[in-house]
Amino acid sequence: MNRNNDKLLFTPGPLTTSMTTKVAMMRDLGSRDFEFIEQVKFIRERLLQLAGVSVEAGYESIIMQGSGTFGIESVISSVIPDDGHLLVIINGVYGERISRMASIHRIHQSSLRFAENEVPDIAVVKEFLHENTDITHVAVIHCETTTGIINPIHEIGQLCAEAGKVYIVDAMSSFGAYPVDLQASGIHYLISSSNKCIEGVPGFSFVIAQREQLVSCEYNARTLSLDLFAQWKGLESNGQFRFTPPTHALLAFAAALAGLELEGGVAGRAKRYQENYQALAAGMKELGFREYLVPEHRGYIITCFHYPEDPSFDFVSFYEALNERGFVIYPGKLSEVNCFRIGNIGHINRQDIHNLVRAVGDVLAEKGILMDKQEA
């Protein structure tokens, strides 16, 4: 792979990026400079293409400074009017985060909670929408990175379309590697960020928005800096950001987008990540690890593994031993089960996964951790 000698990141982002992406940042461009404005235009157009929509079809792409959370908060705080009612569908920490945002902005909200290892039950969502006709907006996570579970955004979108609800999807950790059909799924706002499956560096998030819906939000913002409508208007009026943009991160992102296209777009990237996941799943199973999710809910972005049963297993020392060998994994975030996570995304391939699995085996042996291979 085209990269330097940094440790490899098996995380949900920031990720290992290509040298081409890193080198693209080694320039100082002015935020009002023509060349920079051209880059921003290119990125905004390419994001729409990636989402399979266009300006002509009624969609806009808006770049928002800050990490993914800022992009989500810009949508939540800008699109729901004072008399709106948000339904948040939750099966992990990122769904909980949206609910917290709604509380902070004093937005009227309801939530439907499902277990972290279950996808939302469509019949329950349908019934809830049927009984609560004052719901105006529905928000859900696509890949709930807490576990890696893939939620049924298309089916939920169909319910929203039938019931006339505005539909918000946090596709932070999936966009660019899972195909999403915004029109067919009735998605009004889709949010992702620079340092996930497009393999850029951290610095901004972006929103793909249905224009007609966006235009209706002109007076809804609850903050100045995260005002989605004003950000869009600013970009449209002169191609510039309202406030200082992350110029270097945007240059890196333009290079990352070119890399994605070279790889064959979403289909090509999905193929590599699937191969990474398959190599990981097979290797870890052979070592005796058990995946947290049942097979039908597993995705190929990030994988959640139970801690070994052996009471001498200590995650921190396991993590450190892998880190010393050049592999950075990710702790778990589950409320009740002890798990750790391994990301399959970023500028890594199957060989990197094989090397990681070998290192995991070496660390287990070195620490004398006993694995129950029957159970896996």
- Residue 111: partners with Cβ closer than 8 Å, 6 or more residues away: 87, 88, 89, 90, 95, 99
Distance of alpha carbon 82 from alpha carbon 191, whole angstroms: 22
Binding mask 95-134 for ligand PLP (x = CB under 6 A): ----------------------------------------
| Residue 331 β-bridge partners | 340
Enumerate residues 191-210 that contact ligand PLP by CB under 6 A: 193
Identified binder of ligand PLP from the candidate list 48, 153, 172, 371, rule CB under 6 A: 172
Considering the rule CB under 6 A, would residue 76 count as an interface residue with ligand PLP? no
Closest CA to 209 of 48, 376, 17: 48
DSSP category for residue 308: P
Considering the rule CB under 6 A, would residue 346 count as an interface residue with ligand PLP? no
Identified binder of ligand PLP from the candidate list 91, 173, 185, 247, rule CB under 6 A: 173
- Residue 237: partners with Cβ closer than 8 Å, 6 or more residues away: none
Considering the rule CB under 6 A, would residue 91 count as an interface residue with ligand PLP? no
Considering the rule CB under 6 A, would residue 17 count as an interface residue with ligand PLP? no
Distance of alpha carbon 369 from alpha carbon 352, whole angstroms: 23
Strands (E) in 10-135, as ranges, are 59-65, 86-90, 109-113
Q: Which part of the chain contacts ligand PLP (CB under 6 A), choosing from 27-35, 170-178, 243-251, 258-266?
A: 170-178
Distance of alpha carbon 163 from alpha carbon 126, whole angstroms: 9
Q: Which part of the chain contacts ligand PLP (CB under 6 A), choosing from 127-135, 165-173, 252-260, 311-319?
A: 165-173
Considering the rule CB under 6 A, would residue 352 count as an interface residue with ligand PLP? no
Identified binder of ligand PLP from the candidate list 94, 128, 300, 307, rule CB under 6 A: 94
Considering the rule CB under 6 A, would residue 74 count as an interface residue with ligand PLP? no
Considering the rule CB under 6 A, would residue 12 count as an interface residue with ligand PLP? yes
> Cβ closer to ligand PLP: 13 or 346?
13
Q: Closest distance between ligand PLP and the C-beta of residue 75, in Å?
A: 12
Query: Please, where are the H alpha helices in the chain?
Result: 19-23, 34-50, 68-79, 93-104, 122-131, 153-163, 211-215, 228-238, 247-262, 265-287, 315-324, 350-367
β-strand pairing of 137-141 with 166-170: parallel
SS3 state at 291: strand
Considering the rule CB under 6 A, would residue 247 count as an interface residue with ligand PLP? no
Please count the residues of this chain forming the interface with ligand PLP, following the rule CB under 6 A. 12
Binding site for ligand PLP (CB under 6 A): 12-13, 67-69, 94, 141, 145, 170, 172-173, 193
